[in-house]
């Protein structure tokens, strides 16, 4: 579960080629980080995988099945948005329960899932509060909780910590890594922050102008950067 394959995937907006023919293999349970400078196509690539944008050509396989044009809700993936995407008028409990309610699940099953997610995320004591009564880190956990209850094949994160201050970012980085270790679900994490990439990833995908410059473990990239761009970006001495 959670194996994602991209074959010669491209995306153009009008005359602008944002993703060039791109091949990528994401293994079951991997923590993969897309890193690269602003505007290189990280968010677009994530949105193509999520189905929020339609590919221009190529193929996307999820667990071996062609999902190139499958609607987002049927891909079994969960996008974790930044915490400001929470519903301010709803309690934490209702925010987390929202996707299950939409899916028509019965209340007892919803309660069990929400309580389970709250436990994993240390939110049990905050379920009756509203987002406005929480810290930035707690709000981000609620956003993650809303993804967890759907039991997705993969979690997709687009710069989830960019709204948080530096100290909190370090904390949340650890929490997301721990979550990955306990759930063992595939995670794709977009960031422009090299430190996040180097500390969180099993596999880093370095992007520049819609192309993959290099794919490898943090250590591979650090020791054997494919070119000056990767070396400069990762901060290795080459």
Residues of this chain that bind ligand ADP (CB under 6 A): 13, 16, 18, 36, 38-44
15 binds, among ligand ADP, Mg ion, none (CB under 5 to 8 A by kind): none
How many chain residues interact with Mg ion (CB under 5 A)? Answer: 1
Residue 117 to residues 20, 38, 95, 107, 113, Cα–Cα distance (Å): 38, 33, 12, 15, 6
**Residue 43 interacts with Mg ion (CB under 5 A)?**
yes
Pick the closer one to ligand ADP by CB: 46 or 144: 46
Of the candidates 167, 181, 144, 186, which has an alpha carbon nearest to the alpha carbon of residue 24?
186
Closest approach of ligand ADP to the CB of residue 121, in Å: 26
Closest approach of ligand ADP to the CB of residue 235, in Å: 19
Pick the closer one to ligand ADP by CB: 51 or 145: 51
40 binds, among ligand ADP, Mg ion, none (CB under 5 to 8 A by kind): ligand ADP
Rounded to 5 degrees, what are φ and ψ at 215? Answer: -125, 130
Pick the closer one to ligand ADP by CB: 16 or 181: 16
Q: Please, is 175 exposed, middle or buried when counting C-beta atoms within 10 Å of its C-beta (0-12, 13-18, 19+)?
A: middle
Range in contact with Mg ion (rule: CB under 5 A) among 10-18, 42-50, 92-100, 178-186: 42-50
Residue 238 to residues 6, 8, 199, 212, Cα–Cα distance (Å): 30, 30, 20, 19
Alpha helices in the chain (DSSP H): 42-50, 92-102, 107-120, 136-148, 166-183, 194-200, 218-223, 228-234
Pick the closer one to Mg ion by CB: 43 or 70: 43
Q: Please, is 101 exposed, middle or buried when counting C-beta atoms within 10 Å of its C-beta (0-12, 13-18, 19+)?
A: exposed
Closest approach of ligand ADP to the CB of residue 190, in Å: 7
By beta carbon distance, the residue nearest Mg ion is 43
Contacts of Mg ion in 139-158 (CB under 5 A): none
Q: What angle do CA 87, 91, 93 make, to 5 degrees?
A: 105
Closest approach of ligand ADP to the CB of residue 23, in Å: 18
Residues that bind Mg ion (CB under 5 A): 43
């Amino acid at each position: 579960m959670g194996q994602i394959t991209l074959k010669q995937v491209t995306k153009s907006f009008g005359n602008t080629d944002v993703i060039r023919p791109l091949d990528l293999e994401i293994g079951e349970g991997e923590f993969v980080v897309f890193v690269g400078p602003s505007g290189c196509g990280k968010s677009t690539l994530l949105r193509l995988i999520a189905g929020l944008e339609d590919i221009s050509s190529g193929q996307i396989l999820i667990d071996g099945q062609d999902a190139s044009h499958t609607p987002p809700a049927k891909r079994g993936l969960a996008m974790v948005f930044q915490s400001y995407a929470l519903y301010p008028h709803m309690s934490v409990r209702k925010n987390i329960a929202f996707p299950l309610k939409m899916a028509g699940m019965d209340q007892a099953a919803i309660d069990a899932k929400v309580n389970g997610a709250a436990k994993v995320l240390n939110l049990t004591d905050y379920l009756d509060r509203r987002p406005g009564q929480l810290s930035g880190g707690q709000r981000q956990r609620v956003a993650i909780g809303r993804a967890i209850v759907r039991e997705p094949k993969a979690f997709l994160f687009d710069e989830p910590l960019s709204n948080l201050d530096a100290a909190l970012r370090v904390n949340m980085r650890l929490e997301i890594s721990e979550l990955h270790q306990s759930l063992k679900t595939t995670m794709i994490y977009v960031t422009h922050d090299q430190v996040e990439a180097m500390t969180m990833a099993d596999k880093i995908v370095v992007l520049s102008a819609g192309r993959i410059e290099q794919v490898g473990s943090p250590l591979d990239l650090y020791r054997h950067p494919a070119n000056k761009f990767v070396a400069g970006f990762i901060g290795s001495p080459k």
